[in-house]
Amino acid sequence: MRLQHILLFLMINHTDGLSVSISPYPVAVEAGGDVIVTSTITKTESESWKAFIFYVHDKEVTSACRGAFYSTSIECNDVFGCSLGFGFNCNYTHFNLLINNIRTALIGVSIYAEVTSGSSSKSNSITTIIQLKIPLTGVSLTPNGTITMIEKETQVFQCSGTSLPTASLNWHVGGSTLPTSSPPVITADSISSRWTYIAQKNDNDRRISCTAVYESTSFSADVLLNILYAPTVSVSPNYNPYNVLENTTNLQLACTVTDANPAVTSYSWYKDDALISNGDKHSISTVQRSHTGNYACAAANSVSSSNRSSALELNVLYGIEMNSLATHKYLEGEQLSLSCNGQSNPAIVDNDIIWTKHDNATFRRQGRQLVIENINRKDSGIYECSVVIKLTPTLGQPLNVKGTTTVEVDILYIPTVSTSPRFNPFNIIENTTNVNVTCTVTSARPPVSSFRWYKDNSTIATTATFTIQRINRSDSGRYSCEATNSIGTSGQSSQSELLLNVLYGVTLSPIDRQLPQEGKELTVQCIGQSNPALSDNDIIWTKQNNNTFKQTGKQLVIKHVNRLDSGHYICNAVITLLPSIESSVDVIGTTIVQVDVICKYSIYRPSVVIIPYYNPFDVVENTTYLQLTCAVSDSKPNVTSYRWYKDASVISTTAVYTISSVKRSNAGMYTCDATNIAGSSELSSPIVLNVLYGVTVAPISKPQASEGNELSITCDAQSNPAYTDNDVSWTKKHNTTFRQSGKRLLISNINRLDIGTFICIVKLTLTPSIGQSIDVQGTTNVEIDVLFKPMMDGSKPSTKQLIALPENAEKYINIHIVANPVPLVQWISIQNINMSGWCNNTIDSNDTYNGIYISSSILVSGRLGKYMFVSENSVGVLSQIISVELNGKPKSPSIIYVFCKSTTATVLWVQGFNGGHLQVFRVVYWNNEKHLGTKISNEIVENEHFLAINYTAIALKPNSKYTFYVVSINDYGNSSSETLECSTDRSSITSEEAAINECSSVLESGIAMLAVGSVAVFAVAMCALYHYSTIVEERGDSYENSNISNNKNEQYDNM
């Protein structure tokens, strides 16, 4: 109960100047204490009083309590009794009310004084009140300690304290002052407050405290809150959307508990509201596009299950799967429209798409839709739609992905044709046989189904090719063709027309004998037919036996003829036929007119010709008794003498010129003339004697080339006709496959296998004007010497690079090499041992076809260590190190593979150095089910020719794991390989051995090649994996006692 302090204002009633006061005001005292209430009368000397009384007001009852009367003396005694038993003393003006052992019953009791003046007027003091003080000693809070609540539960807390005056109470949570929910309850000496608390999870681990404040003293009590509440969760990684590349492996989403009390006991994962898994993490081993969706999780504890987390949108990014496009067919002139579509995330947009064309580097269009207006045949082809999108995952680097698809666009159109040969006009020589003119389809879609040929607008054929068996001049004309497909028929154009122009030689009309009168004018017309037509420039008139007479033009005109003009005049018409195909042809037409001038005396000079007449006259060298005859075609009177000329020089005066044996010096131009009494004839038409002779090939000096370089040799020769590249071939002795054509022999990257004799062969055909053709040939040899650095001679066994000897034993170390030129040879001891007198070098052979073969050896007498063989020539150096060791146990073998089938296992290993003594091998293996014991193969002897050995174990248990290793043993000890494990197949295969045998030959050859390199090992292994390995029948295999140790050393220390 809150104490009420009554504020009393000092009010003194003046009675004749008399007044009374009271103190203390108020009367404040602790319980059990004593207090004196003093009242004082104030007056003047003339004033007097006659009565004084203390009044006590208690529980609405006011009683006189103690007092004094004044008459002649002051009586300070209990004038009035007081139930409270207050003490009293006084003097004339001061009165004391004594209160001992203040009790709570006096709380609120008020006291005032009254004085009665001599005139009986009364005056009261102010009223003072007794205020009892009880100190605050503490505060009580219930409930207390630690309180466990579930979120949103209600709990009433009560806080109380005892004091006078009553203390003030304050509530706090986590240090923050709380507003009171209801007024406190106050009694005489106590105060209490109730606070209703609704559990909030944020208050977990906070304290609710109640503080009582009394004057300068305060006390607090608190309670620890343990708020239980359902979990709060979120999904991590905290990205939304969460972009992930398809095929990302081991993707994990974590359900993160951001708040929970007590701890979480279970988790649930949802995809698109469907439960998919339990656990704090949801794992996706390989992300697929089907994993796209909204993922949320929830967690539960003993209080409740959480609300689902905010959904994480998993956005699976994936590359482009292009929709395939079928072939599109369009008619020429239509609109082409293609659409490129595909599936991807993010989706394809127009800017991602580029169209290109396979046969057009400049074609490029952007956008999903490819549209080409008024398409033509050039638009046919393969169009490629390329899509490039960027996949940008939330985590990691962006990735550009590309998708392409192609579509064939087939433009259909009527044929376009052209005639071939493509000449207009098409000039062709008469009598040419089997001339084909073809209607060539330059373009057509679909293919042409029929053809038609026209000559001068008349149909002549219905095939693509029209053949003229033999060209006649009547075949000249205008030819055209057309082709038809399902779209239509080709149109007429200059390309589809061909003007055939038949060329034919000169046919001159015969000319009657002319008998002009001497002194008159002679005019003779030379008329003929040809295509092209004859012109004046094509005709030359000559006269037999007159080398100086020459006249051009169709008309022969001689003014004032005389007897010397008599003779045979030749009209020579020469035109060149220029066919569109093949070489031009000169054609000659001649006609002779006899002119006899009528004169007084009828004599004239001879006319002569050379027989035989060929120009040129091709004769093979060394032809015997070649005769040229100066034949007289006309003479009056008879001829009296002859002359022969070679290159304008007289060489004979006989009618017949004979060459007993034709030499190339006889080549030249020959003419002749004849003489009678009328004079000498004109020179005959000349003939050119062309002497054909065979091939003389120039010798070639021996070249040298270093290995790896290029060698070029030229074959020079003399012949008539001159030889060409096509006439020359190269061969090589002892090599039936080598052949090269051309004057120049070129060998790139030459090597020592190219050493040898190369033969240049020149073959020609001599074709004389008379007689049969003769094939002639000329050859020359050239020795090619290839220089190469020393290398090991594989045809002879050299000492291996690692050997072992007994102590103090003697042994020759042999090296066989081949080189060109001869190399310097030396041995070097790496241990600096003096080696003088040890070496022995011999040249085994000097075969220029292969090089120079040298054998070198040193004698090792108990000297262990390393020895270096060095051989050097001008091309390079060869070095070889040979290590000499004491005899010892073999080096460890190396297992290449173990290949298991259902009941067999093949082991392939490479044998190590045998330590200088014959080594044998055993294969040790056991089933990993140890109670089955260890199995050991029979001895397998080393193979000095091959590095690798194989062994096949049989009668194995299917569907079991076996361990294998190989032991190498000689007289000095043993060494073991590493172990390898192999699991047999689940069931037996009855055709196993047949398949194994199929591979056996490959296996054996592969083993043989192991000395060459590891490639063969790989080939063998691949064969063994593809088939079965070769089974070695080891019927002596047996299981040993099952207590045999698997320790490799224990098994073979005493073998």
Residue 71 confidence class, pLDDT cut points 50, 70, 90: low
HSE-CB at 579 with a 13 A cutoff on CA atoms is 19
Q: Are residues 23 and 163 in the same domain?
A: no
User: What 3-state class would DSSP assign to 291?
Assistant: helix
Q: What is the pLDDT of residue 350?
A: 92
Q: What is the pLDDT of residue 76?
A: 59
Cβ atoms of 1054 and 1044 within 8 Å: the answer is no
Mean pLDDT of 771-783: 92
- 888/974 Cα distance (integer angstroms): 9
Place of tokens 């199995």: 935
- pLDDT at 17 exceeding the cut of 60: yes
Q: Are residues 715 and 824 in the same domain?
A: no
- pLDDT at 992 exceeding the cut of 50: no
β-sheet bridge partners, residue 369: 339
Q: Are residues 709 and 775 in the same domain?
A: yes
- 343/318 Cα distance (integer angstroms): 9
* Nearest of 978, 931, 984 to residue 953 by alpha carbon: 984
- 1038/1044 Cα distance (integer angstroms): 13
- 1022/501 Cα distance (integer angstroms): 71
Q: What is the pLDDT of residue 864?
A: 81
Contact residues for 706 (Cβ-Cβ < 8 A; gap 6+): 750, 786, 787, 788, 875
Mean pLDDT of 723-730: 93
Q: Are residues 750 and 608 in the same domain?
A: no
In this structure, the strands spanning 774-792 and 704-706 are: parallel
C-alpha dihedral (461, 465, 466, 469), degrees to nearest 10: -140
Residue 634 confidence class, pLDDT cut points 50, 70, 90: confident
Residue 1030 confidence class, pLDDT cut points 50, 70, 90: very low
| Residue 791: both structure tokens together | 């290398």
Q: Which residue type does 889 have?
A: K
β-sheet bridge partners, residue 843: 854
232 within some domain = no
Domain count, the chain: 10
* Nearest of 918, 910, 907 to residue 892 by alpha carbon: 910
The domain boundary residue, chosen from 318, 347, 382: 318
- 932/11 Cα distance (integer angstroms): 125
- 508/527 Cα distance (integer angstroms): 6
When comparing pLDDT for 947 and 381, which is higher? Answer: 381
Q: Are residues 381 and 290 in the same domain?
A: no
- 98/90 Cα distance (integer angstroms): 11
In this structure, the strands spanning 381-391 and 687-697 are: unpaired
235-239 long-range contacts (CB < 8 A, ≥24 apart) are: 235/295, 235/296, 235/297, 235/309, 235/310, 235/311, 235/312, 237/394, 237/395, 239/312, 239/394
Q: What is the pLDDT of residue 522?
A: 92
When comparing pLDDT for 843 and 441, which is higher? Answer: 441
CA distances (Å), 706 to each of 91, 294, 793, 845, in order? 156, 75, 19, 21
C-alpha dihedral (561, 562, 565, 571), degrees to nearest 10: 20
Backbone dihedral angles phi then psi of residue 908, each to the nearest 5 degrees: -120, 125
Q: What does the DSSP 8-state code read for residue 133?
A: E
Q: Are residues 934 and 969 in the same domain?
A: yes
- 819/845 Cα distance (integer angstroms): 11
Please, what is the Cα angle at 254 between 253 and 257, to 5 degrees? 155
Q: Are residues 986 and 903 in the same domain?
A: yes
- 868/853 Cα distance (integer angstroms): 19
Mean pLDDT of 479-488: 92
- Sign of the dihedral defined by the CA atoms of residues 230, 235, 240, 241, in that order: negative
Mean pLDDT for the chain overall: 84
Q: Which residue type does 392 have?
A: T
* Nearest of 481, 501, 485 to residue 493 by alpha carbon: 481
Q: What is the pLDDT of residue 1006?
A: 44
DSSP string, 559-584: SS--GGG-EEEEEEEEEEE--SSS--
Q: What is the pLDDT of residue 501?
A: 94
Find the range with the poorest average confidence among 170-184, 336-350, 840-854.
840-854
Residue 171: Cβ within 10 Å count: 21
Contact residues for 653 (Cβ-Cβ < 8 A; gap 6+): 641, 642, 643, 644
Q: What is the pLDDT of residue 867?
A: 86
531 within some domain = yes
14 within some domain = no
Q: What is the pLDDT of residue 515?
A: 87
The domain boundary residue, chosen from 86, 105, 133: 133
| Domain encompassing residue 204 | 140-227
652 within some domain = yes
- 397/646 Cα distance (integer angstroms): 95
Q: Which residue type does 633 have?
A: S
11 within some domain = no
Q: Which residue type does 971 have?
A: D
Q: Are residues 663 and 808 in the same domain?
A: no
- pLDDT at 1008 exceeding the cut of 80: no
Contact residues for 498 (Cβ-Cβ < 8 A; gap 6+): 419, 421, 423, 424, 426, 437, 478, 479, 480
Please, what is the Cα angle at 959 between 957 and 961, to 5 degrees? 80
Residue 1041 confidence class, pLDDT cut points 50, 70, 90: very low
- 97/110 Cα distance (integer angstroms): 12
- 448/525 Cα distance (integer angstroms): 56
Q: How far apart are the first and last CA of the chain?
A: 111
Alpha-helical (H) ranges within 300-389 are: none
Cβ atoms of 673 and 680 within 8 Å: the answer is yes
Q: What is the pLDDT of residue 1049?
A: 47
12 within some domain = no
Residue 2 confidence class, pLDDT cut points 50, 70, 90: very low
Cβ atoms of 413 and 332 within 8 Å: the answer is yes
When comparing pLDDT for 432 and 215, which is higher? Answer: 432
Q: Are residues 913 and 982 in the same domain?
A: yes
Q: Are residues 491 and 518 in the same domain?
A: no
Q: What is the pLDDT of residue 995?
A: 43
Residue 1022 confidence class, pLDDT cut points 50, 70, 90: very low
Q: What is the pLDDT of residue 932?
A: 64
Q: In what order do the strands lie in the sheet with 948-953?
A: 894-900, 905-910, 948-953
| Residue 839: both structure tokens together | 């070496």
Q: Which residue type does 740 have?
A: Q
> The domain spanning residue 162 has which CATH number?
2.60.40.10
The domain boundary residue, chosen from 481, 504, 527: 504
Cβ atoms of 539 and 501 within 8 Å: the answer is no
Q: Which helix (H) or strand (E) holds 633?
A: strand 624-636
Find the range with the poorest average confidence among 118-122, 218-222, 228-232, 952-956.
118-122
- pLDDT at 1003 exceeding the cut of 60: no
- 830/864 Cα distance (integer angstroms): 11
β-sheet bridge partners, residue 673: 643
823 within some domain = yes
Contact residues for 991 (Cβ-Cβ < 8 A; gap 6+): none
Q: Which helix (H) or strand (E) holds 870?
A: strand 865-872
Q: What is the pLDDT of residue 341?
A: 93
Q: What does the DSSP 8-state code read for residue 108?
A: T
- pLDDT at 587 exceeding the cut of 80: yes
- pLDDT at 993 exceeding the cut of 50: no
Q: What is the pLDDT of residue 861?
A: 75
Mean pLDDT of 873-883: 90
* Nearest of 224, 221, 159 to residue 196 by alpha carbon: 159
Mean pLDDT of 307-318: 94
Backbone dihedral angles phi then psi of residue 202, each to the nearest 5 degrees: -65, -20
Contact residues for 48 (Cβ-Cβ < 8 A; gap 6+): 70, 117, 118
Find the range with the poorest average confidence among 111-125, 518-532, 693-707, 853-867.
853-867
- Sign of the dihedral defined by the CA atoms of residues 389, 394, 396, 397, in that order: positive
Q: Which residue type does 173 have?
A: V
Find the range with the poorest average confidence among 428-432, 758-762, 801-805.
801-805
Q: What is the pLDDT of residue 1035?
A: 32
Q: What is the pLDDT of residue 184?
A: 87
Q: What is the pLDDT of residue 159?
A: 92
Q: Are residues 450 and 539 in the same domain?
A: no
- 718/692 Cα distance (integer angstroms): 11
Q: What is the pLDDT of residue 618?
A: 95
In this structure, the strands spanning 217-236 and 458-461 are: unpaired
DSSP string, 752-792: GGG-EEEEEEEEEEE--SSS--EEEEEEEEEEEEEEEEEEE
Q: How far is CA 74 from its chain centroid?
A: 132
Q: Are residues 940 and 1024 in the same domain?
A: yes
Q: What is the pLDDT of residue 577?
A: 92
Please, what is the Cα angle at 945 between 940 and 950, to 5 degrees? 40
The model's pLDDT over 199-211, given as tens digits with 9 standing for 90+, comes to 998 899 999 999 9
Q: What is the pLDDT of residue 221?
A: 92
10 within some domain = no
- 491/414 Cα distance (integer angstroms): 9
- Sign of the dihedral defined by the CA atoms of residues 1002, 1003, 1004, 1005, in that order: positive
Q: How far is CA 943 from its chain centroid?
A: 45
The model's pLDDT over 242-286, given as tens digits with 9 standing for 90+, comes to 999 999 999 999 999 999 999 999 999 999 999 999 999 999 999
